[in-house]
Chain A
Amino acid sequence: MTDFLQLDSVTVQFGALRAVDDVSIRVREGERRAIIGPNGAGKTTLFNAITGVVAATSGQVIFAGKDVTRAPVHVRARRGMSRTFQITNLFPNLTVAENMRLAVRGLSPRKFSFFGTDALDAEETRRAGAALEISRLHTRRDAAVKELSYGEQRQLEMAMALVAQPKLLLLDEPAAGLSPAERVIVSDIIRALPRDLTLVLIEHDMDLILSLVDYVTCLNNGKLLVEAPPSEIRGNSDVQDVYLGKARHNA
């Protein structure tokens, strides 16, 4: 009933590879969900199927009560989906402020203003300022994005996804590659999110997951392996086998 995001037997096939294989997931409104799984498990591909970057080969994506399986990316964004990218995906030649302007205006008709001023209005400026503040980038707004540190770029990824005031926020490994101090910023940002926002988070860092989410879904080889509350996920033997076991191999 209150399922906000519902995946029904979603499969994404690349040639012979089933990157996502018959996955059904239900996320309630306001829930914070983590998706875990070893490298290549299909987590990012699942995000791409949810947001429309790749089309589901079969199955259905239902968002806020509407079937969006065939809707293009920008239509899903207008319905309230917002995401960050695992591989930083910003506008490198523009400034932080310009990146934010594009993020704020994505859902506003003002983006079709051909000769108007490029400045944001008061309300948009406040929102952009708040998102930059939360992401600790408010002193960097005139910097070109390509000159930001990696950590700052990751923070901007979050700020841009947040400022659209989405109903569903999808974060793809927001803390990967960050220093411990920068990870704190990321978990602060997530904690400061409005409680009615639905969040789906791909993350490898167990400590981060345990402290942030309500429920965990583990994928392996494109298939749904286990769903459990965070307190049980560590002890789950299947998860230990594929996920923690593999991590130990990698170490």
Chain B
Amino acid sequence: MASPAPNPAPDSTALPARDTGMSRLAMGAIALGALAFAVLPLILPTYQVSILTEVLIFAVLAMAVDILAGYTGRTPLCHGAIFGVSTYVVVYWTSQMGGSPYVGVGLGIAAATFVAAIFALLAIRTSGVYFLLLTLALGMIVWGVCLRWTSVTGGENGLRGAVRPAALADGFSFYYAVFAAVAVVAFVMWRFVRSPFGLTLRGIRDSESRMRSLGYNVPAHLFLAFTISGFFAGIAGALYAMFNDFVSPSTVGLSQSVEGLLMAITGGIGTLFGAFIGSFAIIGLENLVSLYTERWQSVLGAMFVLIMIFAPEGILGRIRSFVAQRRR
């Protein structure tokens, strides 16, 4: 029945060490992964370097999806559309308006963020399968607009761009420019999910009612999370515009959204950097499979089913829980 001390001993107020950074193992793995992406282009043929560029760009899209699906507990099916809005704006600005690619990238990201904010207003009051379906419908609207608004978007034919700055014309230097940009973006996103706001999102994922009773305005936090996630998807879309120099309705299509989500799930939902593994696995497989068959979509579907059955926590999630078990 001892009455508790008002001031706990200093050691009990100290922060737990594991919360101040990440484990050595995780840092080693990240260093190894970054090294692989840095060195691989030196030994790969040009075509594979361009695939690797695509892997990096789509990893950013998958991380943007993971902010909502993994950290906030809201699985979106509209991020392909948000991504593609950015791509359209960058391509349109450079090819139809003759503007500078750098301004175009800024405009593309701004447009994607704006679209995400509108989607957020409509979607944040739903959750679960309703959120999934509502975001799917919102993405379809964007797709429909891009398909029908022929005078601006070129309709089914799409738009060919003149996006890439002269300095980055060859695939090799472009790869390293993307590598640098993605490294910065990945670091910023990592800081974001580890920030107080990032913890708030994980709290919302686990219990919205508890968050409200603690004083959190849950819809406001969801709105910000959605908009910020869209901002990052917009960065990926702008990079993709430079990479592809072409945009058509399939860039904003549902399959793009599904692929972004599949990459996040394959890598491991709620792991952020698992997105690189997921993007690598899916784009790699896509290129491999298309050598032998036209039925990439079926293979993708089958692979998704296998992952959901055997490793629902994704590749990185699987590795993490394996390491955690070994530590016990």
Determine if A74 and B195 form an interchain contact, defined as CB atoms under 8 angstroms apart. no
The interface residues of chain B lying within 8 Å CB-to-CB of A188 are 1, 3-4
Determine if A133 and B12 form an interchain contact, defined as CB atoms under 8 angstroms apart. yes
The interface residues of chain B lying within 8 Å CB-to-CB of A4 are none
Q: Which stretch (B13-21, B113-121, B165-173, B273-281) binds chain A?
A: B13-21
Determine if A89 and B210 form an interchain contact, defined as CB atoms under 8 angstroms apart. yes
A78 to B220, CA, bound (A): 15
A5 to chain B, nearest CB (A): 16
Residue of A90, A105, A106, A129 near B8 (CB, 8 A) is A129
Could you say which of B4, B12, B15, B194 has the most chain A C-beta atoms within 10 Å of its C-beta?
B4
A82 to B195, CA, bound (A): 25
Interface residues of B in 26-54 (CB under 8 A from A): none
Interface residues of B in 180-194 (CB under 8 A from A): 188, 191-192, 194
Interface residues of B in 195-218 (CB under 8 A from A): 195-200, 202-203, 205-207, 209-218
The interface residues of chain A lying within 8 Å CB-to-CB of B202 are 91, 93-94, 98
Determine if B216 and A130 form an interchain contact, defined as CB atoms under 8 angstroms apart. no
Determine if B216 and A74 form an interchain contact, defined as CB atoms under 8 angstroms apart. yes
B250 to chain A, nearest CB (A): 33
Residue of A53, A95, A120, A138 near B209 (CB, 8 A) is A53
Q: Is A184 on the interface with B (CB-CB < 8 A)?
A: yes
Residue of B5, B18, B197 near A113 (CB, 8 A) is B197
Mask of A177-193 contacts with B, CB within 8 angstroms, 1/0: 00000001000100010
Q: Is A77 on the interface with B (CB-CB < 8 A)?
A: yes
Q: Is A205 on the interface with B (CB-CB < 8 A)?
A: no
The interface residues of chain A lying within 8 Å CB-to-CB of B205 are 93
Determine if B20 and A119 form an interchain contact, defined as CB atoms under 8 angstroms apart. yes
Determine if A91 and B18 form an interchain contact, defined as CB atoms under 8 angstroms apart. no
Q: Is B7 on the interface with A (CB-CB < 8 A)?
A: yes
The interface residues of chain B lying within 8 Å CB-to-CB of A113 are 195-197
Determine if B195 and A126 form an interchain contact, defined as CB atoms under 8 angstroms apart. no
The interface residues of chain B lying within 8 Å CB-to-CB of A72 are 212, 217
In the complex, the chain B residue whose C-beta lies closest to that of A99 is B203
B205 to chain A, nearest CB (A): 8
Determine if B199 and A134 form an interchain contact, defined as CB atoms under 8 angstroms apart. no
From known contacts A74-B216, A192-B4, infer whether A126 and B194 are also in contact, taking CB-CB under 8 Å: no
Interface residues of B in 227-243 (CB under 8 A from A): 228
Determine if B196 and A133 form an interchain contact, defined as CB atoms under 8 angstroms apart. no
From known contacts A105-B196, A112-B197, A142-B16, infer whether A130 and B213 are also in contact, taking CB-CB under 8 Å: no
Size band of the interface chain B makes with A = 35 or more
A72 to B218, CA, bound (A): 11
The interface residues of chain A lying within 8 Å CB-to-CB of B211 are 102, 106
Residue of A73, A91, A164 near B203 (CB, 8 A) is A91
Q: Is B128 on the interface with A (CB-CB < 8 A)?
A: no
Determine if B214 and A164 form an interchain contact, defined as CB atoms under 8 angstroms apart. yes
Determine if B215 and A119 form an interchain contact, defined as CB atoms under 8 angstroms apart. no
The interface residues of chain B lying within 8 Å CB-to-CB of A77 are 212-215
Interface residues of A in 122-173 (CB under 8 A from B): 125-126, 129-130, 132-134, 138, 141-142, 160, 164
Determine if A102 and B200 form an interchain contact, defined as CB atoms under 8 angstroms apart. yes
From known contacts A90-B210, A184-B1, infer whether A116 and B196 are also in contact, taking CB-CB under 8 Å: yes
In the complex, the chain B residue whose C-beta lies closest to that of A163 is B214
Determine if A125 and B15 form an interchain contact, defined as CB atoms under 8 angstroms apart. yes
Determine if B215 and A97 form an interchain contact, defined as CB atoms under 8 angstroms apart. no
The interface residues of chain A lying within 8 Å CB-to-CB of B8 are 126, 129-130, 132-133, 138
Q: Is A14 on the interface with B (CB-CB < 8 A)?
A: no
A46 to chain B, nearest CB (A): 15
From known contacts A130-B7, A133-B4, infer whether A114 and B195 are also in contact, taking CB-CB under 8 Å: yes
The interface residues of chain A lying within 8 Å CB-to-CB of B4 are 130, 133-134, 188, 192
In the complex, the chain B residue whose C-beta lies closest to that of A187 is B1
Please list the 7 inter-chain residue pairs (A to B) with the smallest Cβ-Cβ separation, ordered nearest first: A106-B214, A106-B215, A77-B215, A91-B206, A73-B212, A129-B8, A129-B13
30 contacts between A and B (CB under 8 A): A53-B212, A53-B213, A72-B217, A74-B212, A74-B218, A77-B215, A78-B215, A83-B213, A85-B210, A89-B210, A90-B206, A90-B210, A91-B202, A93-B202, A94-B202, A94-B206, A95-B19, A97-B16, A98-B202, A102-B211, A102-B214, A106-B214, A115-B191, A120-B15, A126-B7, A130-B5, A133-B12, A141-B16, A160-B210, A164-B214
- Given A112-B196, A130-B8, A132-B12, 16 other A-B contacts at CB below 8 A? A53-B213, A74-B213, A74-B218, A85-B209, A91-B202, A95-B19, A97-B15, A102-B211, A105-B196, A107-B214, A113-B196, A114-B195, A118-B198, A130-B4, A130-B6, A164-B214
